[in-house]
Amino acid sequence: MKLQRTRSQERILNLLKSLNRAVSAQDIYVELRNREQSMGLATVYRALEALKLEGVVQVRTLASGESLYSSVQRDQHHLTCLNCGASIAIDECPVHQLESELQDSHQFRIYYHTLEFFGICDRCSVVTTTDEAE
């Protein structure tokens, strides 16, 4: 199936790819205006909805209820340190096999998944130990 994207959808997708982080629809609206590619907020929302259903944009909803959008990246996971914020990429995907199994058992086409690990990195755990010793 060949999807025909609108120009708004292309612009938003290109923007999300270049930003490389998750942003709100409002951020996208402002960023497009800065790039002189202005479009109405309603158009931004419509385009994001279409891109989401196409599987090229993912959305994460914060506790505040705000939705953050980002382009779907390659299958890459990270260990994130809660203290210094270091983000360490891990080579393998622990759920790759599970994903294929779920697709089969549930007849569900999976576009992407998210998986993040949080804790304390090696460097920070050394610092913490030293503090306690004093």
Interface residue list for Zn ion (CB under 5 A): 75, 81, 83-84, 86, 93, 121, 124
Report CA-CA distances (Å) from 58 to 17, 49, 53, 99.
12, 10, 9, 17
Shortest separation between residue 63's beta carbon and Zn ion, angstroms: 23
Exposure on the CB side of residue 95, measured as CA atoms within 13 A = 12
Give strand pairing partners of 129.
Answer: none
Nearer to Zn ion, 56 or 81 (CB): 81
CA R_g for the chain:
19
Shortest separation between residue 116's beta carbon and Zn ion, angstroms: 10
> Which two structure tokens, joined as six digits, stand for 132?
């306690």
Shortest separation between residue 98's beta carbon and Zn ion, angstroms: 9
Residue 123 CA to chain centroid, in angstroms?
A: 27
Nearer to Zn ion, 50 or 95 (CB): 95
Q: Comparing C-alpha atoms, which of 25, 111, 120, 33 is closest to residue 69?
A: 25
Nearer to Zn ion, 13 or 121 (CB): 121
Nearer to Zn ion, 42 or 84 (CB): 84
Shortest separation between residue 113's beta carbon and Zn ion, angstroms: 6
Report the distance separating Cα 41 and Cα 52, nearest Å: 16
